[in-house]
């Protein structure tokens, strides 16, 4: 691991991910690419810039060799995007999810990146909005309510 003040220079060809060999003992993450976008001039992204220069990001990249980690300067807000592998039967474009991590402390940024690493990229299913219908044709025990009773 390099010293925290020295950031190794990476060439584009070094960022290409190699898929790991599939065997029963190996778990392959659905995450294929992790992109960090930040702005150098904004004062509210100072925490994100210190996170990107910390050794924690290098540790994530070395622990997950199948995930491509890209740090990119952008003019907008500081975000972390995760690109996931696609299911050939369901989607044609790669699945992506993004989290806003600019104005939070380093602990929350670590948790957000871990959330992107552990998720599958699928949309959340709302289980609370399912309507329940009664299938019985019998009359209720207390009868049918009416205002004329």
Q: Give tens-digit pLDDT for 12-27.
A: 555 555 555 666 666 6
Task: Calculate what percentage of the chain has a pLDDT beyond 90.
Answer: 0
Q: Which residue has the higher pLDDT, 77 or 86?
A: 77
- Residue 88: the pLDDT is 46
Per-domain residue ranges of the chain: 28-118
- DSSP class of residue 110? H
Which residues, listed in sequence order, are joined to residue 145 by a DSSP beta bridge?
none
**Which of 43-47, 93-97, 114-118 has the lowest average pLDDT?**
93-97
- Residue 91: the pLDDT is 44
Helices 106-118 and 55-63 pack at an angle, to 10 degrees, of 10
What CATH superfamily classification does 28-118 receive? Glutaredoxin (3.40.30.10)
What CA dihedral angle connects 71, 7, 4 and 114, to 10 degrees?
A: 20
Of the pLDDT bands very low, low, confident and very high (cuts 50, 70, 90), residue 92 is very low
Backbone φ and ψ for 71, nearest 5 degrees, come out as -110, 125
- The yes-or-no verdict on residue 57 having pLDDT over 70 is yes
Q: Which residue has the higher pLDDT, 8 or 84?
A: 84
- pTM for this prediction: 0.62
- Per mean pLDDT, which of 37-41, 139-143, 145-149 is the most reliable? 37-41
């Amino acid at each position: 691991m390099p010293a925290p003040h020295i950031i190794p220079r990476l060439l584009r060809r070094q960022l290409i991910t190699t898929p790991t060999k599939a065997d029963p003992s190996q778990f392959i993450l659905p995450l294929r690419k992790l992109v960090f976008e930040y702005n150098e001039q904004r004062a509210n992204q100072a925490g994100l810039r210190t996170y990107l220069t910390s050794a924690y990001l290098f540790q994530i990249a070395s622990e997950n060799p199948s995930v491509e980690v890209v740090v990119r300067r952008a003019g907008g807000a500081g975000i972390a995007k995760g690109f996931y592998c696609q299911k050939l039967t369901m989607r044609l474009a790669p699945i992506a999810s993004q989290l806003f991590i600019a104005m939070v402390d380093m602990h929350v940024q670590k948790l957000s990146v871990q959330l992107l690493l552990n998720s599958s990229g699928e949309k959340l299913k709302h289980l609370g909005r399912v309507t329940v219908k009664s299938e019985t044709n019998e009359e209720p025990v207390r009868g049918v309510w009416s205002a004329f009773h």
